[in-house]
Chain A
Amino acid sequence: MNTEQQLRDAVAHLAETAPPPPTWEGLHQRLASADAAPRPRSGPAIILAVIAVTLVGAITVRATSDGTERVDVTSSNTLAPTTASRPPAGSSLGEPPQAIITTGTMTVTLPSRNYCWQGAGLFRCASGPHDPQTLRLRGGARLNLEFTTTEPFTKLSANLLQEPHPGFDLEVDRDGSITIPTGTPPGSYRFIVHGTWSQVNSASYQLTVEVTD
């Protein structure tokens, strides 16, 4: 086989193995999010700010007598409102990202030893990479997972494994995202974000998303 034919075959292979195109709905949501809240991207104290166009919740933060800040989350999501506490700024666990409640959106800032996520009316902070979290999501809702890092990294090619479906790699430069689309069948989906940072070596963060009927 000559080079021309080999080249034609190679290009055909790449074209034929192309994935399905992104959905318009997903693009539209990203556009709306960008319009609502442009994300700052510089400085060590950068805070990820993602506000979905479907924003229906509100969040207030107030100091409490035990020195923590209490985060009250209210939402018109179908799940009940909930409450979570986070450590005060400057604690040994560090400052979690600012909580901005969005419906159907989760953010994880890496590689904080503790990290927080929010979505479906919930806001929680995990104590570390070995504290896997679970998010329950009612079927039909859209969940957008977004990851960002502002810390110096030595190797940041985070792998995002989706189970039970075959895993795939999500190369992350400074941030990355994946969407669980509307209509995803009920079941348990586990996401593992693995990365290597200079100050924490490598760490894996686990999030199980349980999609219910």
Chain B
Amino acid sequence: MVGEADAEIYQQHAAELTRFASGLVGPTDAADLVSDAVLNALSSPAWPGVSNHRAYLYRAVLNAARARARRDERRRDREHRMVLSEPHGHAHLLLASVDDRDDVIRAALNLSPRQRAVIYLAYWEDITPAASAALLGISEGAIRRHLARARRHLRRTLDEH
């Protein structure tokens, strides 16, 4: 059962989590993503023993984004199997919600959730790869790899336009 302490923890991080979610899935779905992630976190048996709530909640948001991406992928597969006329799936809907002229935003939102998370932390939070690694619970080497791949992908995408 959640209590006042949980409410305080949530209030303390709600705004930054929502910005992080917006960086992962775009502003349209950000609030929903945060809701799902926080509910999962608070319902987890591990929650009472968590010492770094901020990191735990960031990871919860990232995991929710990854789960959503997998779900969208399955849906696209289903739709393709049914030979439907809407092959674009969630990414298409997501991209339609931002300015169509902004190729960079579109390219960024086409990265994998982890790449988006790393990009967000590097360019918005301005934190080091080591700090990103600690926050997301992955190695610093993985952070650097994600960052490099994301930049490469973006340059390639933008060069094509």
A residues whose Cβ falls under 8 Å from a Cβ of B: 3-4, 6-15, 17-22, 24, 26-28, 30-31, 34-35, 154-155, 157, 168-169, 171, 173
Contacts and interface: CB of A to CB of B under 8 A. Distances in A.
Interface in B1-55: 1-2, 7, 10-11, 14-15, 17-19, 21-23, 26-31, 34-35, 38-39, 42-43
Contacts of A14: 22-23, 26-27, 105, 108-109, 120
A8 B17 CA distance: 18
Contacts of B22: 14-15, 17-19
Q: Do most interface residues of chain B lie in helix, strand or loop, or is the interface mixed?
A: helix
Contacts of B23: 11, 14-15
A24 B38 CA distance: 10
Interface in B83-108: 84, 86, 90, 93, 97, 102, 104-105, 108
Nearest to B33: A22
B34 A22 contact: yes
A19 to B, nearest CB: 5
Contacts of B155: 3
Contacts of B39: 27, 30-31, 34
30 contacts: A3-B151, A7-B104, A7-B123, A10-B102, A10-B108, A12-B124, A13-B105, A14-B23, A14-B26, A14-B120, A15-B22, A17-B27, A19-B18, A19-B30, A21-B14, A21-B15, A21-B17, A21-B34, A22-B35, A22-B38, A24-B11, A27-B10, A28-B7, A31-B2, A31-B42, A34-B39, A35-B1, A154-B79, A155-B86, A169-B28
Q: How large is the interface on B (under 10, 10 to 19, 20 to 34, 35 or more residues)?
A: 35 or more
A157 B94 CA distance: 11
Contacts, number: 106
Contacts of A17: 22, 27
A169 B15 contact: no
Given A3-B154, A3-B158, A6-B104, A27 B35 contact: yes
